[in-house]
Amino acid sequence: MRLLPPRWPLAAQVRQRSELLDRVIQALGANPASLVRKDGGKAFAEARVTCLDCRYGRACQNWLDAADGLPLPADFCPNASFFLQLMSATTADEAFDKGQRRPVEG
């Protein structure tokens, strides 16, 4: 069953861009729950809007398809500063899991 008729190209673009952002988040090793908690979800929502309005969708798709050990993040990405902020997080509630669990300080 098809959810959206093919005559709705904007709906297809929204879905495609959402999938690209999800793939970048996964490729970077980000914890989606931590991303949503950052700034009460505002930063994540802004990243989604930025991705939706981005003119580099095809470049992003190609970058993700070709990447093996991604450079972090892609230099053309308008969300690069968002990803760099997440990568530099050093708190116990860090957005990236480097394979080490930190104890929760109380």
**Domain range list for the chain:** 10-87
pLDDT band for position 1 (cuts 50, 70, 90):
low
Whether residue 34 is predicted with pLDDT greater than 80 in this model: the reply is no
Give pLDDT, residue 85.
76
Report the b/e string of 50-74 with b at 16+ CB within 10 A.
bbbebeeeeebeebbeeeeeeeebb
- Cross-strand bridge partners of residue 9: none
Condensed to tens digits (0 to 9), the pLDDT of residues 57-100 reads 999 999 888 876 666 788 899 999 888 777 666 333 454 444 44
